[in-house]
Chains A and B, each alone.
Chain A
């Protein structure tokens, strides 16, 4: 059983959720001055998330700490911003992770199995001398490990036996951090009305978001395709189509997605594929329109990420920049930035 302090550390555990439910707090009640401390902490949680990407791990009152979490989730919902959602979930999961790291294996097993229904086994007594490892069901493992990029997290680089992956206590808490992050993301709602008594707080947070976004992290891409900035894989696919070489379906999909995402028009893409020997205008147009989002689901597809391209054998001659990105579009953005940087220096000299 988790104590009040534990619940304050991990506000997603069932005990904390139950504590909040039992209090039966309503939105209107929050307007009452006796709840100021909770609102303050909730706003602070979100502010810290936006500013530093991490929520502080000190507090005075367990009850306030527990109750401020769902209120912070509520504030995040009001803000209606994807970046804030992700940032808040990340910051809160990092906060939880700082506590998890010092927990013993039994506590980690307890949280993972009771909150997230993980298949997880503590180390065997006789083994604990040598491995001190935990065993996690491969599905729980994979679901969270796919979001971590280092090669050691890939399932292939793990010992997997009878459906269980062997991990250290530290690795288990890292995976739990990912799980907590998705849980928080899923708790942030779609849309809620903004009560008037929160106006001031929301306004402050909105300003903060604007400031953060204004710092250049959100560079707009140029409107036309910059060929010099294409990653090697896309460049290869592009050259292949142009020279009439056959490329597999996944390759065509990746190329088309990439092009429509960096400013090529549907007509441009069609023209490119016209050189292909097995070009079927009707079929190609249909596919391009669906990928670009002008037909069908009306959402524009993004190209597959690097690991997916690798699986399908489409990661061709990666270069140094490829080591530091996980998605062909990030390559393109980074490269553009450096191309512009050079241009600017050129202009000056």
Chain B
């Protein structure tokens, strides 16, 4: 492990010597707090401040940090201790991470090991070992295309909420890849800047669909006590609920409807008239009245539609108004990839976040298949391979390979 860390640190040092000056200053750099996690012993340096971007560049060059963060907040004195900094506001920040999204492929590429009894398993790491109830778990997560693609979809949903519902402009937002399993969305806007933690919490709840109360939601059901049809004009959550309900009605099996607590007889009625219902939803058929389908069932479907249409974001990151967040154009020691500002529509993490050039020979112990640029590598088991430096660094950082030093 020590060796792996030294390898990654060496690569970072070479990279920053040449490329530190590519780091661009966050707006109002002089009012931001910076934090750095160092390679050795995981020391965290906080409460750093820089007057100019050149100062930051030379700091990064001389210390070679494993991770670089800056505050979403603006402070009068960012280098003082927390209570004396003088909070002036903060960007509205969101973190979308594959860790918070359930994907089936986690059962293929994510692993955990109980540190007490050695039990191993695949998929998301449980809180306690199922065998010995031990709590110290080693978690190995992989960054995979499917997980990242799901995260990207969540970002797109999130941005739709921010523009369509909250009325922010795309120009006020930047999206950054974190260099590992997720994305950060920064919203810089005078109106958002002085929102308090409670107010940010309401925004998060809105985007995640938390606290939805079908009885309080005005206009959810129409005068016939059904969800009503879906049209392009429906915007905000009402539009999303109807869109989601339409998808649910065309996709969900009778058994699943029953699992949601819908009466078997009603579930059967819905499932048997699926096509008819679905076309009624988009206004193509006349009758959308279903015998026995009453407001309670519609509300259950609305609730499910909401879960489907919500965007999964990290609740803590957005509500914490003193948060440190990764700085773009810096390297992530978990992967050797670069955190970068991206165009979410066209971004390819395995191409656009590559930091290193050249090739290396490594001994790969156990690695799933992955892609760098247009080339696919692996899976590898106990073999010596020559791969691009970016791939080698990724494998070594993830503990899936050791370097072969000549």
Where the two chains meet, the residues of A that have a C-beta atom closer than 8 Å to any C-beta of B are: 137-139, 142-143, 145-146, 150-152, 154-164, 244-246, 249-250, 276-278, 296-297, 307-308, 310-313
Contacts and interface: CB of A to CB of B under 8 A. Distances in A.
24 contacts: A139-B191, A142-B195, A142-B202, A146-B202, A150-B216, A151-B211, A152-B218, A154-B216, A155-B203, A155-B206, A156-B205, A156-B212, A158-B218, A159-B218, A159-B237, A160-B236, A161-B236, A164-B167, A244-B135, A246-B135, A249-B316, A308-B319, A311-B205, A312-B316
Interface string B316-341: 10010000000000000000000000
A162 B203 CA distance: 14
Contacts of B166: 138, 160, 163
Contact of A159 (B82, B127, B219): B219
Interface string B176-203: 0000000000000001000110110111
A160 B206 contact: yes
Given A162-B165, A278-B136, 12 more contacts: A142-B199, A146-B198, A152-B216, A154-B213, A155-B202, A157-B218, A158-B218, A310-B211, A311-B210, A311-B319, A312-B316, A313-B315
Given A139-B195, A159-B219, A160-B236, A312 B202 contact: no
Contacts of A310: 210-211
B203 to A, nearest CB: 7
Contacts of B83: 296-297
B203 A312 contact: no
Contacts of B133: 244
A155 B195 CA distance: 15
A142 B216 contact: no
Given A150-B216, A161-B165, A156 B210 contact: yes
Contact of B164 (A143, A161, A249, A296): A161
A245 B135 contact: yes
B369 interface: no
| List of 6 A-B pairs having minimum Cβ-Cβ separation, nearest first | A163-B167, A152-B216, A151-B213, A277-B135, A162-B167, A157-B216
Contacts of A151: 211, 213, 215-216
B349 interface: no
B201 A307 contact: yes
Contacts of B199: 139, 142-143, 146
B272 interface: no
Contacts of A278: 135-136
Nearest to A133: B218
A139 B190 CA distance: 12
Contacts of A156: 205-206, 209-212, 237
Contacts of A162: 164-165, 167
Contact of A157 (B164, B191, B211): B211
Interface string B238-261: 100000000000000000000000
Nearest to B204: A311
Given A142-B202, A157-B217, A312 B315 contact: yes
Contacts of A142: 195, 199, 202-203
Contacts of B216: 150-152, 154, 157
Interface in B52-110: 82-83
Contact of B201 (A137, A145, A246, A311): A311
Contacts, number: 107
B195 to A, nearest CB: 7
A64 to B, nearest CB: 38
A244 B134 CA distance: 8
A277 B204 contact: no
Contacts of A164: 167
Contacts of B128: 244-246
A137 B218 CA distance: 18
A322 to B, nearest CB: 14
B235 interface: yes
Contacts of B356: none
Nearest to B192: A139
A152 B167 CA distance: 22
Contacts of B219: 159
Contacts of B136: 277-278
Contacts of B195: 139, 142
Contacts of B215: 151
A312 to B, nearest CB: 5
A247 B320 CA distance: 18
Nearest to A166: B218
B15 interface: no
A146 B196 CA distance: 11
A154 B205 contact: yes
Contacts of A296: 82-83
A154 B211 CA distance: 7
A156 B240 CA distance: 12
B212 A157 contact: yes
A139 B193 CA distance: 11
Contacts of A312: 315-316
Contacts of B167: 138, 161-164
A250 B316 contact: yes
A313 B195 CA distance: 22
Contacts of A307: 201, 211
Nearest to A250: B316
A142 B198 CA distance: 9
B165 A160 contact: yes
Contacts of B82: 296
A301 B238 CA distance: 39
B146 to A, nearest CB: 25
Nearest to B306: A156
Contacts of A158: 218
Contacts of A145: 202
Nearest to A313: B315
B7 interface: no
Contacts of A152: 213, 216, 218
B315 A311 contact: yes
Contacts of A276: 135
A242 B206 CA distance: 34
B213 A159 contact: no
A159 B206 CA distance: 11
B238 A246 contact: no
B198 A160 contact: no
B370 interface: no
A276 B202 CA distance: 32
A142 B201 CA distance: 10
A160 B212 CA distance: 14
